[in-house]
Amino acid sequence: MSERYAVMLCGGSGTRLWPLSRTLRPKQLLALNGKETLLQQTALRLSRHVQSSNLITVTHEDHKFEVKGQLADILPEAINGVMAEPCARNTLPAIAWAVSRIHLQSPDAIVGVFPSDHSIDNEEAFHQAWAAAEEGAAQGYLTLLGISPTEPATGYGYIQPADTAVGGNSGHAIYEVARFVEKPDRANAEAFLAQGYLWNIGMFVFRADIFMQLLAEHQPEISALISKLDSGNLVEEYAKLPNVSIDYGLAEKVSRAAVVPVDIAWSDLGNWDSIYRRNGKNADDNVCEGDVIALDTNNSLLWNTHGLLATLGVSNLAIIQTADATLICDRSRTEDIKQLVALVQKQKPELAELHRTVQRPWGAYTVLEEGINFKIKRISVNPGASLSMQMHHHRSEHWVVVSGVARITNGDREITLTENESTYIPKTHRHRLSNPGDVPLHIIEVQCGEYVGEDDIVRFEDKYGRN
């Protein structure tokens, strides 16, 4: 039997879930419907069908370390399969890069491709459908999983299955694809619903060698560039790849495409109203997350990560409160949040990019306060981890150890500080902060200077390979 692989696509920004989801912490890295993040839920789900060593994750360079950290907590073997794109180029280049590596190891491998930010409640039906799709892949089809629609949604592409099944097992039939349809208007969506069309949810199963043949036939430019990625300059070569989806660039062009209709209690958790519908409600039909007090409030999503969120006499709202931004909108308008985020990106771009707490491969930092010519951070360094050897042109730094042990390089000196001890780092001094202990190190950093932006860093040496 052919070897099985799974590819998780871990890109995208999830702007419709702002302010919780942001560019550097998108929705797949968040816990939105349980204790695990969506990435972790997906990885665990896929690992029940393939070996974790055969799980490939394609993400962006900015997310690489957090993706590896989240996978290490649940499936340590899977971190070896993380591939980081230097720039975003849509789904077809990402999939082609992953499949090209699989093809080198196992040309006839059966590969499943799945988004990392979806919710699936009926996992047994999902695995049965995946197995049926593998049967289609073994016959040479580019096979998709298609969701039986529950509403005339306009946010998804649609698939029209042919009338006659060409195979299937466990109650999941395989049909050839009659046609693909881009996201329709409301009237066409209603017609598709009545005619038995399926939602295209971006889940594919195929043979690695068949995929590479189809890529060479229909996208020769991508095929040629992909072959150079592992031997050439990755950053330069990846940037040459066209920005094209697997649907438009391949699936809609091939002659042998098939679909397996499925009912797996699926949601893409694409907006705050879908989060409301997928989570448990209290007696007032509210979904409450975090520290919330609600009086005479009903049918609302109340999601709080910082401080107290209190409501009185409101209904049908989505209220999302974070440390630095709060969203209040009618639940019926949550699909339109992209328009609001576009305004935020123009007026307050940092609030669309970063949270106050930012994950780093060595730990995390939280911006406590920031003003003209100063910034105050709380920095947490994991046991055995260290920041890069670096310097700043425009700011000096004061470090105070709150707990743990800090080993500090400051110019030509190396010192060790413990709780309530401090040091001063003049601007242009080379410096490094390390945690030699076996418990987390916490310090307070006070930056002072004419510029305190995060891009004022010159790295000389970094164990994580950052520039």
Q: CA 207 from chain center: how many Å?
A: 25
Q: Taking residues 266-273, report their average pLDDT.
A: 93
Whether residue 278 is found in the same domain as residue 262: no
| Position 467 pLDDT exceeds 90 | no
Whether residue 252 is found in the same domain as residue 144: yes
Banded model confidence at residue 330, pLDDT cuts 50, 70, 90:
very high
| Position 25 pLDDT exceeds 70 | yes
| Position 191 pLDDT exceeds 70 | yes
- Give the model's pLDDT for residue 228: 87
Q: What is the pLDDT of residues 343-402, one digit of tens each?
A: 999 999 989 888 888 888 899 999 999 889 999 999 999 999 999 999 999 999 999 999
What string of DSSP letters covers 380-435? EE-TT-BPPEEE-SSEEEEEEEEES-EEEEETTEEEEE-TT-EEEE-TT--EEEE-
The tokens of 81 are what?
């399969």
Q: Taking residues 41-56, report their average pLDDT.
A: 96
Residue 467 counted as domain residue: no
- Give the model's pLDDT for residue 465: 79
- Give the model's pLDDT for residue 170: 63
Residue 349 counted as domain residue: no
- Give the model's pLDDT for residue 1: 64
Residue 373 counted as domain residue: yes
- Give the model's pLDDT for residue 232: 74
Residue 351 counted as domain residue: no
Please give the model's pTM, rounded to 2 decimal places: 0.87
Among 314, 344, 374, residue at a domain's last position:
344
Residue range of the domain that includes 362: 357-461
Q: What's the number of domains the chain is made of?
A: 3
Residue 466 counted as domain residue: no
CATH number of the domain that residue 92 is part of: 3.90.550.10
Whether residue 257 is found in the same domain as residue 304: no
| Position 432 pLDDT exceeds 70 | yes
Residue 160 counted as domain residue: yes
Q: What are phi and psi of 266, to 5 degrees?
A: -100, 150
Mean of all residue pLDDT scores within the chain? 94
Among 267, 294, 312, residue at a domain's last position:
267
Whether residue 205 is found in the same domain as residue 293: no
- Give the model's pLDDT for residue 209: 97
Whether residue 249 is found in the same domain as residue 377: no
Residue 446 counted as domain residue: yes
Whether residue 378 is found in the same domain as residue 317: no
Banded model confidence at residue 166, pLDDT cuts 50, 70, 90:
confident
Whether residue 337 is found in the same domain as residue 444: no
Among 267, 283, 317, residue at a domain's last position:
267
CATH number of the domain that residue 385 is part of: 2.60.120.10
33 or 205, which is more confident: 205
| Position 464 pLDDT exceeds 90 | no
- Comparing 164-173, 346-355, 394-403, 453-462, the range with the smallest average pLDDT is 164-173
Whether residue 144 is found in the same domain as residue 32: yes
Burial class (CB in 10 A: 0-12, 13-18, 19+), 245: middle
Whether residue 253 is found in the same domain as residue 104: yes
Q: Which three-class secondary structure state does DSSP give residue 379?
A: strand
Whether residue 288 is found in the same domain as residue 412: no
Distance CA 86, CA 445 (A): 30
Q: What is the pLDDT of residues 214-242, one digit of tens each?
A: 999 999 999 999 998 877 789 899 999 99
Whether residue 41 is found in the same domain as residue 69: yes
Amino acid in position 235: V
Whether residue 261 is found in the same domain as residue 289: no
Percentage of the chain surpassing pLDDT 70?
A: 100
Residue 301 counted as domain residue: yes
- Give the model's pLDDT for residue 34: 86
Q: Taking residues 109-123, report their average pLDDT.
A: 96
Burial class (CB in 10 A: 0-12, 13-18, 19+), 456: middle
